[in-house]
Structure 1
Amino acid sequence: MNLLLDTHTHTVASGHAYSTIIENAKEASKKGLKLFCMTDHGPKMPGGPHIFHFGNLKVLPSEVDGVEILKGVEANILDRDGNLDMPEEILKKLDVVIASLHDVCFPYRDVESNTEAMINAIKNPYVDIVGHPGNPLFDIDVDKVLDAAKEYNTCIEINNSSFVASRVGSYENCLLIAKKAAKMNVKICVGSDAHIAFDVGRFDKALEVIEKAHLDEEFIMNTDVDKFKDYLRSKGKLLNR
């Protein structure tokens, strides 16, 4: 399976990432990607960017080194109500929004709380992708989360970094999520979650999960730029592009 775009990448603005947007674009071009999403952490992440970072994304070009760039955020889910660390007036201007649970921003640990928080974030009309839902720090009711993702037309992420650089112990959780998503025809986005340019477009372990889960290419948004952009348009994004 050939993946042509990366839906989850970070720049130095995230505070604990090490490459610029230009360096990421050059690496994406080198690897033959047609598009990637710039999704720096939301402002509640320690060391993360100020809200002005997201308000000023309009100054970025839409293409660098022949690779299209979508401007977004990996927003932090803050509570059981699914509130994010980004105001609505910023969210509605972004091309793509990932919502994720991070232990430094979300204090709960029981299955009910984690599941409720994730589902409420999924219900947010500005959220397009649920980030790394297989994180073993946050046990969830997989069936309930996938039911919500399908109902609200929200993608579930397979996060390559979870298998190689962070969130140790994610593999079996992610494989289970992928297998259930395959049966339910839930939309999938594959993200490198790159925190350095060399990892942009790195999908090796994610592809292994995709193969084992027998996910249908039709429901993987990374195989075609137009398919991904049409998905975002169905969520009310990119309407002027």
Structure 2
Amino acid sequence: MKILLDTHTHTLASTHAYSTVLEMAKYASEAGMEAIAITDHAPAIPDGAHPWHFQNLKAIPREIYGVKILYGAEVNILDLEGNIDLADEVLEKLDVVNASIHAPCYKDGDATDHTSAYLAIVNNPLVDVICHSGSPAFAYDYEKIIDLAKKNHKLIEINNHSFDVRKASIPNCRKIAEICKEKEVGIVVSSDAHITFDLGNYNNALGMLSEISFPEKLVINRDLKSFEAYMKEKGKELFKWHM
């Protein structure tokens, strides 16, 4: 399977990442990709981008080197009530809103607590994707959240980066994918690239999906057309925010 839209990437606006938007777009073009989403870390993480970064994303051209650019963010889930760290008026303008738990930003708890946090996120109409949620430190009721994700038109991410930096998450990532397959819930497969050379790299994630015979039709970011169609069904128009 070839995935032509990467929905989770970081530029040096997140200072533990190392490439510019221009470098990312050039690399994506050379790799034959159709589109990338620029989804830098929101402000609550220690080196996240300032809120102004997200308010000013429209300064980035919508196409660079023939690659479509989606404006996005990776927001932080802050607490058990599912509060996040960007204002609604900013999120409403973005093409892709990824939501993740990062330990420095989140109040710890047990699986019941984490399930409550994810329930609030899946019920938030401004969130599009639940990201890298396989961490055993933040285990939750996968069946319950994935059922609600299907009902609320949310996507579940299978994050290739987790196979390198969150190895303890791998068994849970597989379990999440198996539940999504069984329930026919759409996923995105992302690189979570923090440098150009990881952009479009999904080898480990795709290998796992192949092992469980995951259907290609449920990989919603396989191309831009499929992603746009899914978002349109949700009631969200991409590329609506311009200079």
Q: Same fold (TM over 0.5)?
A: yes
Residue in 1 that maps onto 2:129: 129
Listed one character per residue, the Cα deviations across residues 157-205 of structure 1 (whole Å, up to 9, x for unaligned) are 00000002x2221111100110111000011001100011110100000
Instruction: Report the Cα offset of residue 240 of structure 1.
Output: 6.2
Query: Segments of 4+ in structure 1 off by > 3 A?
Result: none
Query: 8 Å contact 2:77–2:100 — kept in the other structure?
Result: yes
Q: When the two structures are superposed, what TM-score results if normalisation uses the length of structure 2?
A: 0.95
Partner of residue 163, structure 1: 163
- Structure 1 229/161 Cα, relative in aligned 2: closer, same or farther at 3 Å? same
Say whether the 8 Å CA contact 1:45–1:76 is kept in structure 2.
yes
Deviates most, 27-36 or 155-164: 27-36
- Partner Cα distance (1:74, 1:217) in 2: 25
Q: How many Å separate the matches in 2 of 1:53 and 1:240?
A: 17
Q: Residues 240 and 48 of structure 1: is their aligned pair in 2 closer, same or farther, counting only changes over 3 Å? A: closer
More deviation, 216-225/173-182 = 216-225
Is the CA contact (8 Å cut-off) linking 1:10 and 1:38 kept in structure 2? Answer: yes
C-alpha separation in 2, matches of 1:143 and 1:5: 27
The answer as to whether partners of 1:125 and 1:235 remain within 8 angstroms in 2 is no
Provide the secondary structure at the position in 1 that maps to 2:136.
coil
Give 1:180's aligned residue: 179
Counting matched residue pairs gives: 240
Unmatched 5+ residue regions in structure 2?
Answer: none
> Would you say 1:141 and 2:141 are equivalent positions?
yes
Percent identity over the alignment is 46
Q: Match of 1:209?
A: 208
Residues 74-112 of structure 1 deviation map (CA, whole Å, 9 limit, x = unaligned): 000111111110100000011110011110111223101
SS of the residue corresponding to residue 189 of structure 2 reads strand
Contact 1:157-1:191 at 8 Å conserved across structures: yes
Q: 1:125 to 1:176 in 2, by over 3 A?
A: same
Structure 1: which 5+ residue stretches go unaligned? Answer: none
Q: 1:236 maps to what in 2?
A: 235
RMSD: 1.2
Indicate if the aligned counterparts of 1:142 and 1:177 stay in contact, CA closer than 8 A: yes
Report what 1:40 is aligned to. Answer: 40
Q: TM (normalized to structure 1)?
A: 0.96
Instruction: Determine the C-alpha separation between the residues in 1 that align with 2:139 and 2:110.
Output: 7
